[in-house]
Amino acid sequence: MTTAKATDAATHAVLSKAAHENFPVAPAFVPRAWREDLMAVYGYARLVDDIGDRDLAPGGADARALGVDPGQADEPLPMLDALEADLHRVFATAHGGPPPRHPLLRTLIPTVRRTGLTERPFLDLIEANRIDQRVSRYADHAQLLDYCTYSANPVGRLVLGITGTATPERIRRSDAICTALQLIEHLQDVAEDLDRDRIYLPQEDMRRFHVTEADLAAPTAGASVRTLVACETERARRLLDEGAPLVGSVHGRLRLLLAGFVGGGRAAAQAIADAGYDVLASAPKPTKSGLLYAAGTTLRRGT
C-alpha cells in the first residue's frame, strides 16, 4: 500500500469510530457546514485519544503523516508533541504559514477560518492525553473533575463555537454535560481502562465502598462494585440534569443536536442501571430505542 493510501486508510479508521459513540456526532439534520465542522473536530479529538490510548491503525501511517519515526507510533508523548506542532500549523496558515501535515488536521483549516475557534480547547485535549501518560489513579472526585476540564469540556466549547452560540451561561451548562458524558464513558469502560492500567473511579470512593483493584479485575461485579458504580452513575446523572437546560436555551436544529447529546448520556446511564450496575461483564450500551426515547424526552422538555 502506498503512503498516501495508508494515510487515507488510517484517517478513515479514525472517523469511522463516530458510529460507535453514545450520541450522534454530526447527524444529517444539522446544516452541512456544521456537519463538516463537527466531523473535523471529532476527527481531531478521536486522533488525539487514539494516540494517547495507543489505538492507532497499524502500519505507522499516522506517525509518518506527523513526521515521526513509525517506530515511535506506539509512544504517546512524542506523537502528542508532533500533533501539537501540527496543530500550531493549522492556525499559522492564516498568516501564510505552511499547512499541517496530517490530513485530519488539514480538514480543520476551513473550520477554524469559518468559526474563529481558538487553539485553547484543541490544546487542552492534547494535555488530557499527556495527563493519561502520567496519572493512572485519581485520589478523589475533585481531581477527576479537574481532568475532565481538559478531556471533555473542550468538546462542548468547540460545539458552541462552531454554532456561534457560546455565552458564559451556556458554557457552564455545556461543561456540566460534557463532564457527565465523560464520567459515564469511564463507567462503561472500567474493564477496558483497567487493561491499560487506568482507573477513573476515585480512590476515595473505592475505599468508602470497600472496592479493591482485584474486585475490578473480576469477570463480573460484586455487590460492592455495583454499589460504587451506582453512586458514580447518580453523580453523572445529576451533572447531566444541571447542564440539560442548555437544550432549552437554543432553538432549531441545534436544540435537536444538543438533545441528542444529553439524551445519549441519559440513555447510557440507564443502560448501566439496567445492567444492574455490572460494568465488568460487558460495557453496557444503550439501545437505539433507548437513545431515541431519551433524546425525544429531553427535546420535548428542553431540559
pLDDT of 19 reads 47
Whether the per-residue pLDDT at 111 is higher than 90: the answer is yes
Label residue 141 left, alpha or beta by phi (over 0 means left) and psi (-120 to 50 means alpha).
alpha
Q: What sections of the chain are H helices per DSSP?
A: 3-15, 32-52, 61-65, 76-92, 103-106, 108-115, 120-134, 141-151, 153-163, 168-188, 190-195, 203-208, 213-216, 223-243, 245-248, 252-274, 288-301
pLDDT of 18 reads 46
pLDDT of 30 reads 87
pTM of the model: 0.91
Kindly report, residue by residue over 222-281, the tens digit of the pLDDT. 999 999 999 999 999 999 999 999 999 999 999 999 999 999 999 999 999 999 999 999
pLDDT of 215 reads 98
pLDDT of 50 reads 96
Whether the per-residue pLDDT at 14 is higher than 50: the answer is yes
- Round to whole Å and give the CA distance between 84 and 48: 10
Whether the per-residue pLDDT at 4 is higher than 90: the answer is no
Cβ atoms of residues 181 and 22 within 8 Å: yes
Q: Which residues pair with 137 in a beta bridge?
A: 199
Three-state SS at 121: helix
- Round to whole Å and give the CA distance between 288 and 77: 37
More confidently predicted of 163 and 21: 163
Convert 147-163 to b/e letters by CB count within 10 Å (16 or more is b).
bbebbbbbbbbbbbbbb
Lookup result for grid cell 468538546: 155
Whether the per-residue pLDDT at 10 is higher than 70: the answer is no
Q: DSSP secondary-structure letter at 199?
A: B
